[in-house]
Chains A and B, each alone.
Chain A
Amino acid sequence: MDYQDAINTGFIIPSANQTENGLFDFDFTITNNSKTEQEFFYKIYYQNESYKWSEFDPNDSSKQHEFAHENFYGSWEDTDIGFKSCGKITSGESLKINDSFRIVGNPRNEDMYFYDGENDRWKRNPRVGDYSFLIVVVSSDALKSIPDYISNIKLQHEGRFVNPFFYFLYGEGKALDNCETNFYKKSINVKASPDLGNGVYIDKPKFVNASDEDFGEFFTCNCNNSEDLYNNAHIAQFIHYIDESSQVDNVPVIQDFFGGGFTKEEYNYLRAFYKKEDRIKVLPQTASHGCETVASDSIEDKIIIRNPASEYGKWQKQNVGMITRHGFTYGKVTVKAKLTELLNDDNVWNGITNAIWLIYQGGRGTNETGWNLRRPCREKGYMKTYWGGRFDDRVERVAYSEIDFEILKTVPYCPGSKFPPVYSNYEAHTNKVKDWNTKLPEDVLRDDPNIAVCCTNWDMACWEPKNFSSGCHEVKHDGKTYLAHRWEDCYRAVTTKYMAPDDEVFGSDYYYFQIDWQPDKIIWRIGPEKDQLYEVGYIDQTISMIPDNQMVLIVTQEFHNTGWWPGSPYQQENIPFPAKDYVGEIYEITME
């Protein structure tokens, strides 16, 4: 996919840079086998094949699948162009038709994606993967039998769209006389990969300190809030929402975590001997200046993020990250990165959560809502908000969706099955080392060098999946068994965990992380090379509503309140502030 101007126009396949005329040309020949002169009509449809629902209902192939209308299909971008005339062809004559088309966002020109009269095609970008084509040629008589909502894909039938691939290949159109369909399966493969060296756009209103005079003091030529980067940068600086509940009373110590010999004993010492009155109350911070903690390296085409070091008087546990600016629905999203190590030589956690996650895309400004809603939840509804608590209203549709890799130090098991995890008691006494220097439980020490790769789907507690449940349940896939955990019926997310060695995942030169987001399932994979990925998480539609709206990718290094991860053997409040930056580098992002 060509990212040029895609922020405004959405992705166009092909772009003007990719073919001479910026279109796919096609041709075909029609032969009039009838005994009379006839006028014929044709239309081309395309559909994404990699990330689609079956066109027909598995229980009744004559009916359209309940979600087939969600498939990404289109035709000529002017949906008012129905079937084009080939002109009249005399009996026995043949006519070669030459035409062209291109794949664009919002191919049905749905009103919901318009804003202030403009068709924001980027709000429903073309999906990545394989595309098929369907060329339909009909006689004028047959054309009269084709419903308008098939000729004009903008139109709906009985309140919903009818997928022309269903209509012609499985539905009523299949039986039409004088209707010739030519289906070309997987003719084009589309991939996307943002250019990480193309700069970082600063979306100024997202910063708390945006009005400060020195806000731009870290701006560079390829990291700023200019119009040029607005149009061309594929990446923006991500600013976290900081939950007030994540405040901690932190030990007032600044430590070279990886070079300073911060050991389990030191952790225990800080935990035991630093009382509340010795501590510093902090919230995880966000960058006060654009570009201060993120950079785009145009030489090596990479993004660099860094949790900045603290200094006396400026204690900080700052969350940092990057976000892609172009949304997609579905795809195999693969990130090649070397994010900061989480465990030091003594396998103590530095308090960072490395996160690679997808989140629903927002609209123009902050007030535009309603265009990126998930499909309706037909059982109980979704929890209305991400933050609203267990008594939140339930609604039929929400925009919020999130698919996470969250990689941190926590326990491997579902909290529900062994909850609450118990760590050694301590009674701080300087004259009794054994009292304060307590050991972690054996089951936690077994995973001492490992970090938990937590794979989460935020389904907003929609009860529609047939096996929706709370607690801890086994999920089997490809010979692997995962424990999927949801705190309670109204909890908005379900998580599986996989323990992996920190030295390998974050200690090597790079590692791959892949979220394979499919319409009916999500598979999380990691690996040392792209062709050596292994599965670490799996959630499907039988247990969780899989998002179907457009999302963007975020890569972050975050300081969490460990209260969010019960059982974590190291509590954020006892982990020192960093004496050196925790640096993460993102080398490649692909959507396939």
Chain B
Amino acid sequence: MESKRIKNKKNRSRNKLFLIILSVFVISSMVIYFIGKYLDNRTVVSVSEPELEMSTFEYFIDFETNKFIANSSGISGKKFLSGKKSGSVQGKKNYSPSVQIPIPTSDSTMINDLNIKFWLNPDSKKINTSLVFSILDQNMNQIHWDSYAINMDNAMPDNWQNFHHSFDFPSNLVNTTNTIKIYLWNFDDSQNAIYIDDISISLNENFIPESPRSKFFDFEKMDNAKISSKYSLSGFYSTFAGGKDAFSTSIKIPMSDIKYENLTSIAYSFHYLCEKPEIDAAFVISISDTLGNDVYWNSTHLSFTDHETGVWDIGNGNAIIPPEAINPSNTIKIYLWNRNDNVVYVDDVYVVIKEDNSITENPVAYNFLSNKKFEKKSNHPPYEYKYISRKEVSQNKISELNKVFTKSRKYVVGKLDKSCKYDVIVAFYPDHTSMVGFSNNEIFEKTVNFSRDIPQNFNAFVDENILIISDLDSNTIYAYSYSPNDNNFSLSGSVIVSNAENIAGISSNPDNSLSIFYNTGNVSTYLPENESFILKSNNKLVNSEFGNLKYIKGKFIGNSNQVLLVYMQNKNDKYNIFDYNKSNHSWILSNSHINKSSQSFDKLAFLNDYYIFTNVIDSTIGLLQFNKTERFDLKFVKFNKLSYEIMFNIDFVGFPRKQNPKYYEQCKIITGNFFGDDNMEVIIFQDNYQKVDWLTQKVEIYSFD
């Protein structure tokens, strides 16, 4: 009870201020409400990215990103107040995307109410919806529910209208383990949609600023001679221009403050009041360069001979901004130019920055409603799914396979034992080196020796039967061949290179030469001679930037080995396929591929990981493209003369219990022909960064049946 009294006292002391704020707010909201009706054009640009002011417990949701958004399927690009997206709801008992914000504090004195301001744009005159505010506990059970009903039969279709509401926030639920959930719950059973955008949420009494993509100017805080308290629509002040060719105060917005790159137009509305009935004035939006010269000028002309005096009226317009006027050093100016002896006051100017409206709602991968006959678009989802099955192998030495991924410093895969048809893994541990492979469905592991100590700081490569160790300190590469008889890797030669750290891959070529591919795009080819290698050629194959280059070797097109380089150049993803030219010991762009680096909707991107794999359909070689940025995404890619083709997505079957490898937080993949048959296998190590009871660490082998 004591605390309650204290709170009441505090509330009383705040009441006056609150009433002032409220009255200002209500008036401005009404103004914004009506202004919003005019701001129905699609918006184009952002002033700045939505910012979260966590310290003040204020949030702004504009649906441009999925941050704080759940159920994003209701995000629409059909209408938007700012940016390019809004939330939408259509049909009875349906919900808009929900805003879910973890409660930022457990201190109940920090949160009073939940104040929310948002814009709605209905398809029809009817709005029959509720804005729901609920609180979820840590198990996401709903522990509080409240709603703000909005029923209108006379709403303006296709216009943005502003609403605000204050919800009581139960103080006993102020806890960081709880989550706020806000959404529209629609009751209108017509098929007309309602769009919601630019939701401002505040958990305290200080109501929130406008959207970063929109600006509201009420001239309350301007220290300028052209400010008057004689008339005001909201607050106490307005600006004015009195007499012929007089100018009001200018609103100045540096273009650098907005996302000028996509700016195409500025929608605006303003309120004006005249003291005499004859008005001749222009509401101007101009853009000036650094020297103050106007590079763009646009106005809404107010020309009336018998306008009612002393009352506020509304004007609006939309300024299409030409590309040449867009420069970060330019300044947008907004002002009134009065052109007769009248005195015209301006207040409550509302500006919405608009972006290119050519981008509409996120398309689906395929719309069967508009195209009932499916036509596959190359390298564009949806892709077919094919499943690779877990291969049953003896678990006797599975720990040795596991160790490869968990304990080794490096590991490589290759057909190192000339007497065997299958690939093996060589894993380098701090104190020894192991060879791990499969024989008769059993995992074998044996320690292998090297004729020379493995350097402390090294990298390892395998091609054909040759194991390359590069000493990163001495910039020396050592070539080894394996002898199964004595279980020993013997040194066959070495050579000093320019920068061993930059080596992306090493190719053992048909003429016994070794080509060292650097992530700079260079390749050096050496021929063995005695126990050394003689440089035969040195070429720059591609111009990769910042060492962003990946090397993959395989029979991509035809029966000869080729090298595929996937790299970044001028921030673009590029790829080229090269053939080895024995005659001059160099690599040249492959004739079997056009090598235009043509990309599609889904790119052959440098950031993906690539592994050689066998295509189950025709037993040809292709690539596994692995990406875990958005989700576990494993695709099979083949090359053709002109480009590449994503053949299908890969998923897994046969895993124990519910442990699909794609669920794991961490996956390491190696591929190879570990069983000596026609197919290649994927060995995939799976683990989590944080313990997940039902996903235990494991390593498995998968292949197409």
Which chain A residues have a beta carbon within 8 Å of chain B's beta carbons?
244-245, 247, 249, 252-254, 260-261, 263, 265-266, 269, 272-283, 312-315, 346, 389-390, 415, 418, 420-426, 428, 430-434, 437-439, 441-442, 487-488, 563-564, 566, 573
Q: Give Cα A510–Cα B389 distance, bound, in whole angstroms.
A: 35
- Say whether B596 faces chain A, with CB atoms less than 8 Å apart: no
B401 to chain A, nearest CB (A): 23
Which of A263, A276, A563 lies in contact with B91, CB distance below 8 A?
A: A563
Stretch at the interface among B216-224, B343-351, B625-633: B625-633
Which of B75, B190, B629, B653 lies in contact with A389, CB distance below 8 A?
A: B190
Q: Give Cα A261–Cα B660 distance, bound, in whole angstroms.
A: 10
Q: Give Cα A424–Cα B181 distance, bound, in whole angstroms.
A: 11
Known A-B contacts A422-B134, A433-B695, A487-B93; A261 and B364 likewise in contact (beta carbons under 8 Å)? no
Beyond the given A277-B365, A312-B385, A421-B142, please list 9 additional residue pairs across the A-B interface where CB-CB is below 8 A: A247-B369, A265-B694, A266-B658, A279-B364, A390-B187, A426-B70, A431-B666, A432-B690, A433-B663
Task: Across the interface, name the chain B residue whose C-beta is closest to A422.
Answer: B142
- Residues of the A chain whose Cβ atoms lie less than 8 Å from the Cβ of B382: 252, 278, 280, 312, 315
- Residues of the A chain whose Cβ atoms lie less than 8 Å from the Cβ of B73: 249, 276, 573
Q: Give Cα A252–Cα B629 distance, bound, in whole angstroms.
A: 19
Q: Give Cα A274–Cα B690 distance, bound, in whole angstroms.
A: 23
Q: Give Cα A442–Cα B141 distance, bound, in whole angstroms.
A: 9
Q: What 3 A-B pairs come out closest when comparing CB atoms?
A: A252-B382, A273-B631, A424-B140
A207 to chain B, nearest CB (A): 15
Can you pick out 26 interface pairs between chain A and chain B where the beta carbons lie within 8 Å of each other?
A: A252-B365, A252-B383, A253-B385, A254-B385, A261-B653, A265-B663, A272-B631, A273-B631, A276-B72, A277-B381, A278-B365, A280-B382, A281-B367, A313-B374, A315-B382, A389-B189, A415-B93, A418-B142, A420-B95, A422-B140, A430-B665, A431-B666, A432-B690, A433-B663, A442-B139, A487-B93
Q: Give Cα A563–Cα B181 distance, bound, in whole angstroms.
A: 19
- Residues of the A chain whose Cβ atoms lie less than 8 Å from the Cβ of B629: 430
Q: Give Cα A62–Cα B665 distance, bound, in whole angstroms.
A: 81
Which of B90, B369, B692 lies in contact with A283, CB distance below 8 A?
A: B369
Task: Across the interface, name the chain A residue whose C-beta is closest to B134.
Answer: A422
Known A-B contacts A260-B653, A389-B189; A425 and B385 likewise in contact (beta carbons under 8 Å)? no
- Residues of the B chain whose Cβ atoms lie less than 8 Å from the Cβ of A260: 653
Question: Once the chains bind, are B631 and A312 in contact (CB under 8 Å)?
Answer: no
Mask: chain B, 652-663; 1 = CB below 8 Å from A; 0 = not = 010000101011
- Say whether B399 faces chain A, with CB atoms less than 8 Å apart: no
Question: Once the chains bind, are B631 and A428 in contact (CB under 8 Å)?
Answer: yes
Question: Once the chains bind, are B665 and A263 in contact (CB under 8 Å)?
Answer: no
- Say whether B422 faces chain A, with CB atoms less than 8 Å apart: no
Q: Give Cα A272–Cα B187 distance, bound, in whole angstroms.
A: 27
Q: Give Cα A433–Cα B690 distance, bound, in whole angstroms.
A: 9
Q: Give Cα A421–Cα B365 distance, bound, in whole angstroms.
A: 30
Question: Once the chains bind, are B688 and A313 in contact (CB under 8 Å)?
Answer: no
- Residues of the A chain whose Cβ atoms lie less than 8 Å from the Cβ of B149: none
- Residues of the B chain whose Cβ atoms lie less than 8 Å from the Cβ of A390: 92, 187-189
Mask: chain B, 185-210; 1 = CB below 8 Å from A; 0 = not = 10111110000000000000000000
- Say whether B506 faces chain A, with CB atoms less than 8 Å apart: no
Q: Give Cα A441–Cα B662 distance, bound, in whole angstroms.
A: 25
**A interface SS class:** loop
Task: Across the interface, name the chain B residue whose C-beta is closest to A426.
Answer: B70
- Residues of the A chain whose Cβ atoms lie less than 8 Å from the Cβ of B145: 420
Which of B94, B364, B666 lies in contact with A563, CB distance below 8 A?
A: B94
B632 to chain A, nearest CB (A): 6
- Residues of the B chain whose Cβ atoms lie less than 8 Å from the Cβ of A281: 364, 366-369
Question: Once the chains bind, are A245 and B690 in contact (CB under 8 Å)?
Answer: no
Question: Once the chains bind, are A566 and B93 in contact (CB under 8 Å)?
Answer: yes
Question: Once the chains bind, are A244 and B364 in contact (CB under 8 Å)?
Answer: no
Question: Once the chains bind, are B368 and A315 in contact (CB under 8 Å)?
Answer: yes
A491 to chain B, nearest CB (A): 9
A454 to chain B, nearest CB (A): 15
Task: Across the interface, name the chain B residue whose C-beta is closest to A276.
Answer: B362
Task: Across the interface, name the chain B residue whose C-beta is closest to A311.
Answer: B384
Mask: chain B, 92-104; 1 = CB below 8 Å from A; 0 = not = 1111000010000
Q: Give Cα A545–Cα B383 distance, bound, in whole angstroms.
A: 51
**CB within 8 Å of A: which B366-380 residues:** 366-369, 374, 376
Number of interface residues of B (CB under 8 A): 61
Question: Once the chains bind, are A280 and B362 in contact (CB under 8 Å)?
Answer: no
Task: Across the interface, name the chain B residue whose C-beta is closest to A269.
Answer: B663
Task: Across the interface, name the chain B residue whose C-beta is closest to A288.
Answer: B372
- Residues of the A chain whose Cβ atoms lie less than 8 Å from the Cβ of B694: 265
- Say whether B292 faces chain A, with CB atoms less than 8 Å apart: no
- Say whether B689 faces chain A, with CB atoms less than 8 Å apart: yes
A310 to chain B, nearest CB (A): 11
- Residues of the B chain whose Cβ atoms lie less than 8 Å from the Cβ of A564: 93
- Residues of the A chain whose Cβ atoms lie less than 8 Å from the Cβ of B362: 275-277
Known A-B contacts A278-B382, A420-B185; A314 and B374 likewise in contact (beta carbons under 8 Å)? yes
Q: Give Cα A477–Cα B140 distance, bound, in whole angstroms.
A: 36
Question: Once the chains bind, are A431 and B141 in contact (CB under 8 Å)?
Answer: no
Q: Give Cα A356–Cα B622 distance, bound, in whole angstroms.
A: 51
Question: Once the chains bind, are B663 and A437 in contact (CB under 8 Å)?
Answer: yes
Question: Once the chains bind, are A278 and B381 in contact (CB under 8 Å)?
Answer: yes
A412 to chain B, nearest CB (A): 16
- Residues of the B chain whose Cβ atoms lie less than 8 Å from the Cβ of A263: 658
Counting chain A CB atoms within 10 Å of each CB, the highest count among B142, B191, B384, B631 belongs to: B631
Which of B140, B364, B369, B663 lies in contact with A277, CB distance below 8 A?
A: B364
Task: Across the interface, name the chain B residue whose C-beta is closest to A265.
Answer: B658
- Say whether B265 faces chain A, with CB atoms less than 8 Å apart: no
Question: Once the chains bind, are B179 and A425 in contact (CB under 8 Å)?
Answer: yes
Question: Once the chains bind, are B90 and A245 in contact (CB under 8 Å)?
Answer: yes
Question: Once the chains bind, are A273 and B690 in contact (CB under 8 Å)?
Answer: no
Question: Once the chains bind, are B688 and A433 in contact (CB under 8 Å)?
Answer: yes
Q: Give Cα A420–Cα B663 distance, bound, in whole angstroms.
A: 30
Known A-B contacts A266-B660, A277-B364, A425-B100; A420 and B70 likewise in contact (beta carbons under 8 Å)? no
- Say whether B435 faces chain A, with CB atoms less than 8 Å apart: no
- Say whether B132 faces chain A, with CB atoms less than 8 Å apart: yes
Task: Across the interface, name the chain A residue whose C-beta is closest to B90.
Answer: A245
Task: Across the interface, name the chain A residue whose C-beta is closest to B135.
Answer: A422
- Say whether B136 faces chain A, with CB atoms less than 8 Å apart: yes
- Residues of the A chain whose Cβ atoms lie less than 8 Å from the Cβ of B364: 249, 276-277, 279-281
- Residues of the B chain whose Cβ atoms lie less than 8 Å from the Cβ of A283: 368-369
- Residues of the A chain whose Cβ atoms lie less than 8 Å from the Cβ of B142: 418, 420-422
Question: Once the chains bind, are A430 and B91 in contact (CB under 8 Å)?
Answer: no
Mask: chain B, 638-675; 1 = CB below 8 Å from A; 0 = not = 00000000000000010000101011111000000000
Question: Once the chains bind, are A441 and B141 in contact (CB under 8 Å)?
Answer: yes
**CB within 8 Å of A: which B203-242 residues:** none
Question: Once the chains bind, are A422 and B136 in contact (CB under 8 Å)?
Answer: yes
Question: Once the chains bind, are B93 and A282 in contact (CB under 8 Å)?
Answer: no
Task: Across the interface, name the chain B residue whose C-beta is closest to A565.
Answer: B93
Question: Once the chains bind, are A424 and B365 in contact (CB under 8 Å)?
Answer: no
Q: Give Cα A315–Cα B75 distance, bound, in whole angstroms.
A: 24
- Residues of the B chain whose Cβ atoms lie less than 8 Å from the Cβ of A254: 385
Known A-B contacts A245-B191, A389-B190, A487-B93; A434 and B692 likewise in contact (beta carbons under 8 Å)? yes
Q: Give Cα A420–Cα B189 distance, bound, in whole angstroms.
A: 17
A445 to chain B, nearest CB (A): 11
Question: Once the chains bind, are B140 and A441 in contact (CB under 8 Å)?
Answer: yes
Q: Give Cα A213–Cα B376 distance, bound, in whole angstroms.
A: 26
B107 to chain A, nearest CB (A): 23
- Residues of the B chain whose Cβ atoms lie less than 8 Å from the Cβ of A433: 663-665, 688, 690, 692, 695
Q: Give Cα A359–Cα B179 distance, bound, in whole angstroms.
A: 45
Question: Once the chains bind, are A313 and B376 in contact (CB under 8 Å)?
Answer: yes
Q: Give Cα A389–Cα B186 distance, bound, in whole angstroms.
A: 13
B365 to chain A, nearest CB (A): 5
- Residues of the A chain whose Cβ atoms lie less than 8 Å from the Cβ of B90: 245
Mask: chain B, 104-139; 1 = CB below 8 Å from A; 0 = not = 000000000000000000000000000010101001
Q: Give Cα A272–Cα B71 distance, bound, in whole angstroms.
A: 9
- Residues of the B chain whose Cβ atoms lie less than 8 Å from the Cβ of A425: 70, 100, 136, 140, 179, 181
Q: Give Cα A437–Cα B692 distance, bound, in whole angstroms.
A: 10
Q: Give Cα A351–Cα B92 distance, bound, in whole angstroms.
A: 20
